Amino acid sequence: MADTTDYRAHPEKYRMGRGEQGVLTIEPYKSELLPHWRFKTPEVARQSADTLFEMFLEYGRQGDFAGMDMARKFIQMGYTRARRYANHKGGRKYDADTGEELPRQTVEDPVKAESAAIFYAVWQQAKADSTYQRLKADYQRRLRAG
């Protein structure tokens, strides 16, 4: 059964997870962020990364750690997916039948590599953001306190 939790209304239920975990399931953030997530060209990636970062900052102004963390995850996912397409034509990293990693392209796709670099820079900026760091530390303290 799908998770129907509204994590904005119930931020105490939010769990960070690892990497991009939860990025396509945590609402209402998924619905707010997903329409802005694109990386087809560097121009599209720049607009997407900038919009997602502005949303990240707005969640921070609202004191919404879950929103900030989800925006960070979408930015991170922009990087990882663009890198995957740079390395694997068609974006498929694993063989559907065997589950084994497919060989990388001999020459990476320079357009997707540039898109990845754009998202990477914004992802690093998001991770280092002082509001994000403060809200993350508060979140982790609350989890430890139980």
d(CA 20, CA 74): 7
H or E stretch at 50 = helix 42-61
Q: What is the pLDDT along the chain (146 residues), one digit of tens a residue?
A: 567 899 999 998 999 888 888 788 899 999 999 999 999 999 999 999 999 999 999 999 999 999 999 999 999 999 999 998 888 776 677 767 777 776 777 778 899 999 999 999 999 999 999 999 999 999 999 888 87
The DSSP symbol for 107 reads S
d(CA 116, CA 95): 23
> What pTM does this model have?
0.88
**Apex CA 30: angle with CA 26 and CA 31, to 5°?**
130
Residue 101 phi/psi, 5° resolution?
Answer: -65, 135
